[in-house]
Chain A
Amino acid sequence: MKLRGGKPLMNKKHIHHKVLILLLAQALSATVVDSPLFANERVTAIRGGDLYTITDGIIKNGTILIEGGKISDIGQKIGIPKDANVIDAGGKIVMPGLVAVSAEAGVIGYPNIEKIADSLDPFDFSVSLALASGITTAMVSAGRPSGSNPVGGTTAVIKTSYGDLDQMLVKESVVQPVMISNSEWLRKTTFKQNLRKAQDYLRELAEYQRSEDKKKSEEPKKPGGLDEYIRLLKREVPALISASTANDILADLELVDQFDIRMILTDAVEAWIVAEEIAKRDVRVIITPRQKVRPNEDLSAPSGSNLEIGAILRKAGVKFAIIPPSTSFETWGVVGRDLMALPMEAAFAVSGGLDEQTALEAITITAAEIIGVADRVGSLQVGKDADIIILDGHPFHHKTFVDTTLINGKVLYEKSKSIYFAHITHDK
């Protein structure tokens, strides 16, 4: 079995963070007495709600304890410490913060940036809207492949920690955007040729490292401009490829067979037609159930979109995430087509026959797994980051509002204080 979800990389980075945090805490304890770090040490308890854990079913009238920004306990019969900061979620639904596998938020839009960490904007208006929409983790990107170059641009996973730059970056360079398609033969040729070059180099390097007498042979020189390809071949990052037709999807799957790379297919409108083929290669898919594409009448095989795409992929065993047609946060235009209505998009998959559990997974744990952060977010489990949302109704109900949003155990959004939503109430 091949590696999944980029976990090995993650762990290494994670350890660094932990060491840093420990050092920082030590330094602070020596100097500052009432630092915010210590305010966090107080236990937070969310009680009374129905806990949609995603990974372990629904816990009715349960309690979550949060310590040091992480979930420290979860269940029905849990004692709440006396001095705990208690959030009452009675009659409400508590679930992990939603994960958007693609979002335009939190990055200042300077062109040609190579490091997203240097351009994060915790005061971005979209970040505040993300909190109100229940989205606590998102993959953002900067730049894209240009000219005949099939690879380019960079990605990062961020938290929508409004106002807090230090908490924002989870992981940089999580997937490699690749732009190839049927209509762009030059890019595909370049992509395959470069993969072969990188493959040759890795083979020579492996031979050199295996050879007993390293002095006799010379270490092979790393060819320039192939870093992205080497990372793909080492399966450090998956390739993110836009492929909407079955034809394109099958052609991309061939690359998995040839080069054994990890792959995420996005805009995969016709994925339902080749679901079995996708499942065989363990390729992940990002879908938009509401998207409508007319069948191509010139083709003998099936084509076009299908509202049942979610249900069909699920049946074939394909792991998929759901995003709406627009990955921005908008206060204008047509309501419901952007990330402010992410659960609505998942609800459309349900209306096409998908079970609710898988639909919820597609905007939480599966989405987190696809962008390589499932070890930290995406479910209510002990040890995970306390990124939690409290809803005033079922996540798929159109009347439902996000009541409270927490990131790393800290309340960052309350509907009652929102200048946009506080005044909207329903008779339930």
Chain B
Amino acid sequence: MRNICCYVLLSILTCGSLKAEGFGDGRYAGNHPQAALEAATEAIAIKADRIDTVTSGVIENGIIVITDGRIKAIGNDIEIPDVAEVIDVPDKTIFPGIVNPSSRIGLSLPPTGGPASNPHYRVVDELYPHQDQYKRILGAGFTTMGLLPGDRGTMSYYSGYGYFFGGRSPIPGITGQGAVIRPTGNNPEEMIVAESGFIMIYFQANDKVKKVIKSALDSAKNKANSDDPKVQPLVEALEGRIPTFVVCNLPGEMLHLFELLEPYDKMKPVLIAGIETHLVAEELAKRKIPVILPARIDFKRNTRTRINVPRLLDEVGVKIALKPESNSVRGHEDFLMQVAELVKSGLNRQVAKKAITVNPAEMLAIGYRLGSLDVGKDANLLILTGDPLDVGTKIDKVMIEGKIVYEAPWGQATDE
């Protein structure tokens, strides 16, 4: 009996000390992001082999100084403050955290039904922070997510029998207010970067959906502000104070969309595209509409001829952002490899890097504070074993706003 008591006591003590160690060195920070967030010191300096800023070139043997979660200085000859905690990674590459501009990860399937306008609906109200998915996508390098209020998923392919979609069809029309989040935190407040980041429209080219969208937008037209929670978000969108994300799956439907949005000239539309978007590339370029595309090589319809749609759009000057093909963890884990495939078949490497960082950040209207490694921006970054678009590269550490939120579970990642 006494022995058993001793064992129990001992095991409790042991567990406790192990746990404490875990918190202390941040090793398990990936599993306990909040602990890591609290443990961060005021100043951090990262010394790395390469710093890929995305917007201002690559700095060899560079230093990043971070204070209060923001990048204070970046370059070669930078003074490291005495108090700074130094992360010395002489064989690593630093790259901005990946931004996924349009996702439903961690959210349930949207409701289905006929066309409707629900601009007052907010996706932040359905956040479930304690989901394993969020922890796992951190490990895939995603530090910022745009969450969609209702999405059909990306049209995945076409066959002779019709179009196939992931997920199920939600209510078309105005689906609500999208949010920008960091995939870490114990409650919605800790996750939210922007709670009404953008308005989302789920467009379909048919008389009923067009009518619903048009009458909702017209109710907010020429108004500076409104007390009506169903109108005010649309006022924000029409005035261009927040972007408008529009899901539109077919190139033919986009021609209808352009016509529908014609009267709302201050609106800042961002297109979440489906298949064959290259067919309207010139139209998109002319209208300066940025496009979010799945990172995927497509087939020309009813052929086995491959087409690199992001490349074709970029070549005529359309601003693109890439997103994982699915809302699953696996989709996020495979993302960099799929982007690398696009680069392998001709997408400009630099454009590809922008398309997963600064471009989606700008589309979400948070480009001023994240998306690249520039002075003043949030210290959202990845510590990598090499170039992010080399398939052998591993993510060693992930930092959000100056705090390490993920560390590879195998400790020091190597090329083995």
Q: Is the CB of A108 within 8 A of B303?
A: no
Supply 23 A–B pairs (Cβ within 8 Å), ascending by A.
A108-B205, A108-B250, A110-B206, A110-B209, A112-B208, A113-B206, A114-B207, A118-B205, A118-B210, A119-B207, A120-B252, A120-B256, A121-B205, A122-B252, A122-B255, A123-B252, A123-B280, A124-B252, A125-B302, A165-B256, A331-B160, A331-B302, A419-B305
Q: B266 on the interface (CB 8 Å rule)?
A: no
Measured between alpha carbons, how far is A163 from B281 in the docked complex, in Å?
A: 12
Q: Is the CB of A332 within 8 A of B252?
A: no
Q: With CB as the reference atom, state the residue of chain B lying closest to A108.
A: B205
Q: Which residues of chain B from 349 to 378 have a CB within 8 Å of any chain A CB? A: none
Q: B204 on the interface (CB 8 Å rule)?
A: yes
Q: B162 on the interface (CB 8 Å rule)?
A: yes
Q: Which residues of chain B from 277 to 335 have a CB within 8 Å of any chain A CB? A: 279-280, 300-303, 305
Q: Which listed residue, B207, B208, B210, B250, touches A121 by the CB 8 Å rule?
A: B250
Q: Which residues of chain A from 117 to 155 have a CB within 8 Å of any chain B CB? A: 118-125
Q: A109 on the interface (CB 8 Å rule)?
A: yes
Contacts of B407 in A (CB 8 A): none
Q: B21 on the interface (CB 8 Å rule)?
A: no
Q: With CB as the reference atom, state the residue of chain A lying closest to B172.
A: A110
Q: Is the CB of B256 within 8 A of A330?
A: no
Apart from A110-B206, A114-B208, A330-B160, list 12 A-B contacts with CB within 8 A.
Answer: A108-B205, A108-B252, A110-B205, A118-B206, A118-B207, A118-B256, A119-B205, A119-B256, A120-B252, A123-B252, A123-B276, A123-B280
Q: Is the CB of A125 within 8 A of B210?
A: no
Q: Which residues of chain B from 217 to 272 have a CB within 8 Å of any chain A CB? A: 250-253, 255-256
Sort A-B residue pairs by CB-CB distance and give the 9 closest, nearest first. Answer: A121-B252, A115-B207, A110-B206, A118-B207, A123-B252, A165-B255, A123-B251, A125-B301, A113-B206
Q: Which listed residue, B160, B206, B253, B255, touches A332 by the CB 8 Å rule?
A: B160
Measured between alpha carbons, how far is A332 from B303 in the docked complex, in Å?
A: 12
Q: Is the CB of B204 within 8 A of A110?
A: yes
Q: A108-B206, A113-B206, A330-B160 are in contact. Are A121 and B302 (CB under 8 A)?
A: no
State how many angstroms separate the Cβ of B282 from the closest Cβ of chain A: 10
State how many angstroms separate the Cβ of B166 from the closest Cβ of chain A: 19
Interface size class of B (residues with CB under 8 A): 20 to 34
Interface of B is mostly: mixed
Q: Which listed residue, A122, A124, A332, A419, touches B300 by the CB 8 Å rule?
A: A419
Measured between alpha carbons, how far is A109 from B163 in the docked complex, in Å?
A: 10
Measured between alpha carbons, how far is A110 from B169 in the docked complex, in Å?
A: 12
Contacts of A113 in B (CB 8 A): 206-208
State how many angstroms separate the Cβ of B267 from the closest Cβ of chain A: 20
Query: What 0/1 readout, one digit per residue, does chain A (301-312) give for beta carbons within 8 Å of chain B?
Result: 000000000000
Contacts of B205 in A (CB 8 A): 108, 110, 118-121
Contacts of A114 in B (CB 8 A): 207-208
Q: Is the CB of B252 within 8 A of A165?
A: yes
State how many angstroms separate the Cβ of B49 from the closest Cβ of chain A: 46
Most B C-beta atoms less than 10 A away, residue of A114, A118, A120: A118
Contacts of A121 in B (CB 8 A): 205, 250, 252-253
Q: Which listed residue, A119, A122, A125, A165, touches B206 by the CB 8 Å rule?
A: A119
Measured between alpha carbons, how far is A115 from B160 in the docked complex, in Å?
A: 25
Measured between alpha carbons, how far is A122 from B205 in the docked complex, in Å?
A: 12
State how many angstroms separate the Cβ of B248 from the closest Cβ of chain A: 11
Contacts of B251 in A (CB 8 A): 123
Contacts of B207 in A (CB 8 A): 113-115, 118-119
State how many angstroms separate the Cβ of B75 from the closest Cβ of chain A: 48
Q: Which listed residue, B158, B210, B253, B280, touches A108 by the CB 8 Å rule?
A: B253
Contacts of B253 in A (CB 8 A): 108, 121
Most A C-beta atoms less than 10 A away, residue of B160, B162, B205, B251: B205
State how many angstroms separate the Cβ of A330 from the closest Cβ of chain B: 7
Q: With CB as the reference atom, state the residue of chain B lying closest to A115.
A: B207
Query: What 0/1 readout, one digit per residue, does chain A (96-121) give for beta carbons within 8 Å of chain B?
Result: 00000000000011101111001111
Query: What 0/1 readout, one digit per residue, does chain B (143-164) give for beta carbons within 8 Å of chain A?
Result: 0000000000000001010100
Contacts of B303 in A (CB 8 A): 419
Contacts of A163 in B (CB 8 A): 279
Contacts of B301 in A (CB 8 A): 125
Contacts of A123 in B (CB 8 A): 250-252, 276, 279-280
Measured between alpha carbons, how far is A332 from B302 in the docked complex, in Å?
A: 10
Contacts of A419 in B (CB 8 A): 300, 303, 305
Most A C-beta atoms less than 10 A away, residue of B207, B208, B303: B207
Measured between alpha carbons, how far is A228 from B294 in the docked complex, in Å?
A: 45
Measured between alpha carbons, how far is A115 from B300 in the docked complex, in Å?
A: 29
State how many angstroms separate the Cβ of A222 from the closest Cβ of chain B: 23
Q: Which residues of chain B from 113 to 167 have a CB within 8 Å of any chain A CB? A: 158, 160, 162
Contacts of B204 in A (CB 8 A): 108, 110
Most B C-beta atoms less than 10 A away, residue of A123, A124, A331, A332: A123
Contacts of B158 in A (CB 8 A): 125
